[in-house]
């Protein structure tokens, strides 16, 4: 099977594409898979790192507002259709699969013009513009949340599959769990709150945590905090101004990035995070209570819709970004983590929206188009 996967921009778009590629290789070992992305997205790091070839074209999002910059982006994106068509003609894929980003628009148009079967995967509860605009042109749209089905029009085949993610639920034995906790520099005595804002960090969440640490409010719980590589030195500098050593804080371990995230998410008692589609999927799969701070000013406010998937079943609390403070976050953490029954119940509620066998469901839809 020859497969062209269109994925660009953020890890939330690219990692599902890589997971689908891995599943195809697992099922049909002789498959040849190539990715198509932009010249500037995270795909330029993640795709080659995963062992797949990447070709790039220019593609941008643009608003309805008329400006010179917007017109330039439109021109380059339309030009990208021709570039995508050239790649498709040379590669001769049996199917084109899109997992998100502005790249999907020109690639779908090019593939449709060449009569190549197309599948799109939408990770968010509120579908993006590229998926909505391409709905008529594709054979199948795969969605991560049932809620997304009603928000997509004019597609003859919409299938709920979930989002493929690397992080799975593990029931570690007591000795394994203690080893993970101690290796992370934490204590096995107090409950653990895992806090992160995605691979780049989240400034507003980081500011709230600085307030919690400065006022020593986390006496009843311990924090495992990933600041994001770009913000670690900023956090370190801010703590230095308060005469606080970043490497020696009571009940708190601060790191730029967590490389063993699967282990840490599994041993955490509560998760505080943004509400990207992959984060929501991981939290549901793990059955963890969470406090979600949706990233504002993103397309269609989709992180809020993602967060509500968990809030609506009682698995999460939402704090809006502009209302987030250290005091409010600390109160919400303590309300959950100091009530063991509530903690367990929220985790069970979150697990209700978990989806299993995601890769198998996606593979089944691929095989319908490429027998």
Q: Which residue has the tokens 């949340």?
A: 145
- Find out whether 93 and 116 touch, Cβ atoms under 8 Å: yes
Residue 9's domain comprises: 2-162+356-369
CA distance 123 to 166: 14
Residue 76 lies in a domain: yes
Residue 132 sits at the vertex; the CA angle it makes with 127 and 138, to the nearest 5 degrees, is 115
Global pTM value: 0.83
72-77: long-range pairs with CB below 8 Å, 24+: 77/102, 77/105, 77/106
Residue 105, SS3?
helix
Under 8 Å CB-to-CB from 282, ≥6 apart: which residues? 165, 167, 265
pLDDT of residue 199: 54
**Does residue 364 belong to any structural domain of this protein?**
yes
Residue 150 belongs to domain with CATH number = 3.40.50.2000
pLDDT value for 64: 61
Mean pLDDT for all residues in the chain: 92
Number of structural domains in the chain? 2
C-alpha to C-alpha distance for 284 and 347, rounded to whole angstroms? 8
Are residues 215 and 330 both part of a single domain?
yes
Same structural domain for residues 155 and 207?
Answer: no
- Same domain for 74 and 192, yes or no, is no
Instruction: Compute the average pLDDT of residues 274-296.
Output: 95
What CA–CA distance (Å, rounded) separates 350 from 281?
Answer: 10
Answer yes or no: is 319 within a domain: yes
Residues 216 and 249 reside in one and the same domain: yes
Q: What is the pLDDT, as a whole number, of residue 77?
A: 72
61 versus 21: which is more confidently predicted? 21
Query: Region 233-258: what's the mean pLDDT?
Result: 94
Long-range CB contacts (within 8 A, 24+) of 149-157: 151/126, 151/127, 152/122, 152/127
pLDDT attached to residue 306: 94
H/E stretch holding 141 reads: strand 140-143
């Amino acid at each position: 099977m020859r497969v062209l996967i269109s994925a660009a921009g953020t890890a939330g778009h690219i990692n599902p594409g890589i997971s689908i590629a891995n599943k195809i290789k697992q099922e049909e070992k002789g498959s040849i898979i190539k990715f198509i992305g932009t010249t500037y997205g995270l795909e330029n790091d993640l795709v080659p790192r995963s062992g797949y070839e990447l070709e790039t074209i220019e593609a941008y999002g643009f608003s309805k507002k008329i400006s010179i910059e917007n017109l330039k982006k439109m021109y380059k994106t339309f030009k990208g259709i021709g570039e995508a068509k050239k790649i498709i003609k040379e590669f001769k894929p049996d199917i084109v699969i899109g997992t998100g980003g502005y790249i999907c628009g020109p690639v779908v148009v090019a593939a449709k013009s060449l009569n190549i079967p197309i599948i799109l995967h939408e990770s968010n509860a509120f579908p993006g513009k590229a998926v909505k605009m391409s709905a008529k042109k594709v054979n199948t749209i795969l969605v991560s949340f049932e809620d997304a089905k009603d928000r997509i029009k004019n597609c003859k085949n919409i299938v709920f599959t979930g989002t493929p993610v690397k992080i799975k639920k593990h029931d570690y034995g007591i000795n394994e769990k203690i080893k993970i906790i101690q290796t992370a520099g934490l204590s096995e005595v107090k409950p653990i709150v895992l806090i992160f804002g995605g691979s780049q960090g989240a400034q507003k969440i980081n500011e709230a945590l600085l307030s919690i640490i400065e006022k020593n409010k986390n006496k009843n719980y311990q924090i495992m905090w990933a600041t994001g590589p770009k913000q670690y030195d900023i956090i370190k500098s801010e703590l230095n101004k308060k005469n606080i050593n970043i490497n020696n804080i009571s009940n708190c371990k601060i790191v730029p990035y967590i490389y063993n995230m699967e282990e840490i998410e599994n041993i955490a008692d509560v998760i505080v995070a943004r509400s990207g589609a992959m984060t929501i999927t991981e939290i549901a799969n793990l059955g963890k209570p969470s406090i979600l701070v949706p990233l504002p000013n993103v397309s269609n406010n989709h992180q809020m819709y993602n967060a509500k998937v968990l809030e609506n079943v009682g698995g999460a609390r939402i704090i809006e970004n502009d209302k987030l403070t250290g005091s409010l976050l600390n109160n919400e953490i303590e309300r959950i983590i100091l009530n063991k029954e509530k903690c367990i119940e929220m985790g069970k509620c979150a697990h209700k929206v978990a989806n299993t066998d995601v890769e198998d469901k996606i593979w089944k839809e691929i095989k319908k188009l490429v027998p």
